[in-house]
Amino acid sequence: MPSFNLIDPALEPIAAKVAAGERLSREDGMTLYASNDLIGIGQMADHVRRTKNGDRVHFMVNRHINPTNICRNRCKFCAFARSEGEPGAYEMTLDEIAKAAAEGAADGAYEIHIVSGLHPEWSYEFYLDMVRRTREAVPDHVIVQAFTAVEIEHMAIIANKSTREVLADLKEAGLDALPGGGAEIFSDRTRAAAWDKKTSSDVWLRIHGEAHELGIKTNCTMLYGHIETIEERVDHLVRLREQQDESGGFLAFIPLAFHPANTELADLPATTGYDDLKTLAIARLMLDNIDHIKAFWIMVGLKVAQLSTAFGVDDIDGTVVEEKITHMAGATTPEALSKDDLVAMIRETGHTPVERDTLYRVVRVYE
């Protein structure tokens, strides 16, 4: 049985559960967030990480494409969205999207990652063609991961179809996986205050459950560090865990640190490294049925991403290339890293770098 050097006695019952491989409760999640014993929480999370993934830390060569920032929702927390004709608004053609995908594949990408705004004039067929053209532009081994649940709901509305029908059409067109964005926080209170037009929590979870039933793997996320409460964070994790119990298709969980610059919530402070590490570690402890916890270096920064591998994280994402959404909200991280950069970052932590694809199939182990 593992032993943990805890300084907070309130964590002792949780440590016993962790050592025995038992599921933590909502109350346990609240206790973890209330504790200042960050190192103790990290030790427990690291134990779970090692149990699931050994000394491996994953990364991938991927290419992000954001086809447009024109969006009908204009959520208060978003710095990315623009209206048609507004300075800074842009939209890519299908040819441009296919070209970017082909360039990514030529650079060794195993994933083309597409998320975008809700363009008020793009047709349903345009979205299907986007997937078809992307699929045609890359080799068969490259995964097309595209469209958040918010975009899937938008397509269902404009096509007068069910979200399940939309997912089936996209799969037939060549979609392999869904990203996890758009979940934000599963709280009606925060949704009403900051993204009232966005997909509700029940619909987001239903769409991901439908994707899993259709054989489409997905990721899941939580946007933290804005107007949410700690209780709402824990409830979010519990609902993701319940959905995974039901449908089983989540590959990884990615906590997304909120970047307030250039948003209507710009007066809020950015997250701290302490909160970032604590949130990643608690996610590892609470989400016992999701195999991978990812620190998205674009959002938490390179240094915290490295440190997070001692706090339950076994994935630091990928090369990315041309990420726009977080950088328009003030991120100061690079827009891309090389494979060598990622391997070096992981090696410095004492872990084994493992290049993967979207589905966590191993491409190369860097012993």
| pLDDT tens profile 141-198 | 999 999 999 999 999 999 999 999 999 999 999 999 999 999 999 998 988 887 777 8
Average confidence score pLDDT of the chain: 91
What is the rounded CA–CA span in Å between residue 111 and residue 357? 7
Domain assignment of residue 266, given as a range: 55-365
- In this prediction, residue 351 carries a pLDDT of 97
What tens digit of pLDDT does each residue of 280-316 get?
Answer: 999 999 999 999 999 998 888 899 999 999 999 999 9
Task: Check whether 333 has a pLDDT greater than 70.
Answer: no
Backbone angles phi, psi at 244, to 5 degrees: -65, -40
Percent of the chain past pLDDT 90, that is, above it, reads: 75
Q: Which of 32-46, 65-79, 197-211 has the highest mean pLDDT?
A: 32-46
What is the reported pLDDT for 323? 42
Is 31 among the domain residues? no
- The answer to which of 254-268, 292-306, 315-329 has the lowest mean pLDDT is 315-329
CATH of residue 328's domain is 3.20.20.70
**What does DSSP assign to residue 336?**
B
Residue 10 within any structural domain of the chain? no
Q: Give the whole-angstrom CA distance, residue 357 versus residue 105.
A: 12
Q: How many domains does the chain have?
A: 1
Neighbours of 238 (CB within 10 A): 17
How many Å apart are CA 200 and CA 209, to the nearest integer? 14
Is 5 within the bounds of a domain? no
Let me know the angle formed at the C-alpha of 120 by 103 and 168, rounded to the nearest 5 degrees: 65
18 domain residue, yes or no: no
What is the number of alpha carbons within 13 Å of residue 148 lying toward its C-beta?
Answer: 18
Residue 222, domain member (yes or no): yes
φ, ψ dihedrals at 292, nearest 5°:
-125, 135
Residue 338 lies in a domain: yes
d(CA 48, CA 164): 34
* Residue 156, in any domain of the structure: yes
Provide, rounded to the nearest whole percent, the portion of the chain with pLDDT above 70. 91
Element (H, E) at 173: helix 163-173
- What pLDDT is attached to residue 246? 98
**109 vs 100: CA distance, rounded Å:** 11
Domain membership of residue 39 (yes or no) is no
Dihedral angle sign, alpha carbons of residues 169, 175, 176, 182: negative
Distance CA 203, CA 217 (A): 17
Residue 77 above 70 pLDDT? no
Asked if the model's pLDDT at residue 199 lies above 60, the reply is yes
> What pTM was computed for the model?
0.92
Mean pLDDT of 41-57: 98
Give 327's pLDDT tier (boundaries 50, 70, 90).
Answer: very low
